[in-house]
Structure 1
Amino acid sequence: MKSIYVIRHCEAEGQPPESPLTNKGLKQAIDLAAFFDNIKVERIISSPYKRAIQTIQPLAKKLNVEIEINSQLTERVLSTNHLSDWFEKLRTTFEDFEIKFEGGESSQDAVKRILNVVEDSFTGEFENTLIVTHGNLMSLLLNHYNKEFGFDEWLNLSNPDVYLLKIDNNEITSERLWS
């Protein structure tokens, strides 16, 4: 049985790739490291965004596990244009996975990216892998395995958040571990 822990980054100062964690977020990262005390973590893969790397640095350092940076884990870009109604547009992308706004990425394209990382992890040599990413991309991944996970569940994600994906006899299940 293989396990993948999908982690949403801790509280950050903003949305740009270079946005760091807040002071609260830095404390959350330490709490997150403690959360994994009794789990044998063998591999850590992270979005290249600063907030994602800072989220997992305390655990990586504690375990002496290298953080692999993977650009397929960056947050999904809804549009390169400012959308005053971005919230409703985002809701729409959970209903229509093919819709794409100017300069943005469809839900279908975004989920393909993170699925590449997840499927590689499930077929790889390690039993326990951590993937650190962002809320929207994480939600689309969870929706792939559980169609009940949608826009409202995205709204209820926390910073940080942790879901466990397990594969057993070719069946993949998801479970929220963080509360």
Structure 2
Amino acid sequence: MTIVYFVRHAESNVNNHDDLSRELTEKGKKDRKLVTKFLLEKRIDLVFSSPYKRAVDTVKDFADQEGYAIQKIDDFRERKVDAGWIDDFSSFAKQQWEDFNYKRSEGESLHEVQERNIAALHAILEDHGNKNIVIGSHGTALSTVINYYDGSFGFQDFEKIKTLMPWIVQFTFEGKQCTGIKSIDILNGY
């Protein structure tokens, strides 16, 4: 059995529109301690992350405390929306959830995000079966992973977690078969 804890990053500075370098807010830095506390009880073997700073920094406190190197995997990055910032994100997100292939000219569809995240996850499952694994992630990317294993997860569910940062989702696997998904709200004492 392999257990994977996807950790959606803590609150980040939305005034920084650069996806790669967007840092955590002071609240986000405080809240990542809740992630550390939760993970310390889980006998973690490996730590992976999206290369984006907010995802890395959310799991870094735990990784540093336990002496783990964070292995950055580009395919776990968040969805590219477009060349620029989108002000009406909710309408855009709804359109993408209604049509998994919809994308802006320089962006990615949810289908593309899901494919690369699942491919990266399957590679980890093949190489590191029967381990407890942490993956630093993002709201949309993580939502597409949930949707892959539970097709009932859609836009309404995405809307519910939109402001839930940090957020942990525990996946249990036998080989590559997902046998369980559990949402963990660490902000409210899980």
TM-score if structure 2 supplies the norm length? 0.87
SS of residue matched to 1:80:
coil
SS of residue matched to 1:141:
helix
> 1 CA distance for matches of 2:61 and 2:22?
18
Identity %: 24
- TM-superposed CA distance for 1:107, in Å, is 1.0
> 1 CA distance for matches of 2:142 and 2:46?
18
- The range that moved more, 119-128 or 76-85, is 76-85
SS of residue matched to 1:156:
helix
Does the 8 Å contact 1:121/1:129 carry over to 2?
Answer: no
1:4 is aligned with what amino acid?
V
Pick from 145, 150, 175 the counterpart of residue 146 of structure 1. Answer: 150
Does the 8 Å contact 2:12/2:23 carry over to 1?
Answer: yes
Q: Are 1:177 and 2:184 an aligned pair?
A: yes
Does the 8 Å contact 1:4/1:121 carry over to 2?
Answer: no
Does the 8 Å contact 1:4/1:118 carry over to 2?
Answer: no
- Show CA shifts across 1:54-86 (max 9, x none): 101110011111101111111101222554543
> 2 CA distance for matches of 1:24 and 1:85?
24
SS of residue matched to 1:36:
helix
Q: Are 1:119 and 2:119 an aligned pair?
A: no
Partner of residue 133, structure 1:
137
- Show CA shifts across 1:97-121 (max 9, x none): 1122110111111111111221112
Partner of residue 10, structure 2:
10
Does the 8 Å contact 1:81/1:102 carry over to 2?
Answer: no
Structure 1 gap ranges (5+): none
1:20 is aligned with what amino acid?
E
Q: CA RMSD of the aligned region, Å?
A: 1.6
- Show CA shifts across 1:11-52 (max 9, x none): 111252212111111111111100112111111111111111
Pick from 150, 165, 168 the counterpart of residue 162 of structure 1. Answer: 168
> 1 CA distance for matches of 2:119 and 2:175?
20
1:29-108 alignment to 2 at 5 Å? 29-108=32-111
Q: How many residues are matched?
A: 179
Does the 8 Å contact 1:47/1:74 carry over to 2?
Answer: yes
1:18 is aligned with what amino acid?
S
